[in-house]
Amino acid sequence: MTGKYHDTFTSVGYQKASDIVTTINTLGGKARLGVTYLDYGQDWTWETILVVSKSLDMEYQALTPRDFNDINEGNLSLERIQKIVAQATK
Q: What is the 3-state secondary structure (H, E, C) of 29-41?
A: CCEEEEEEEEEHH
Q: What is the pLDDT of residues 35-61, one digit of tens each?
A: 999 999 999 999 999 999 988 889 999
| Annotated domain spans of the chain | 5-85
Nearest Cα residue to 21 out of 51, 41, 1: 51
pLDDT, residue 3, reads 84
The beta-carbon contacts of 59-66 under 8 Å, at least 24 apart in sequence, are 59/34, 61/36, 62/20, 62/31, 62/87, 62/88, 63/17, 65/38
pTM: 0.93
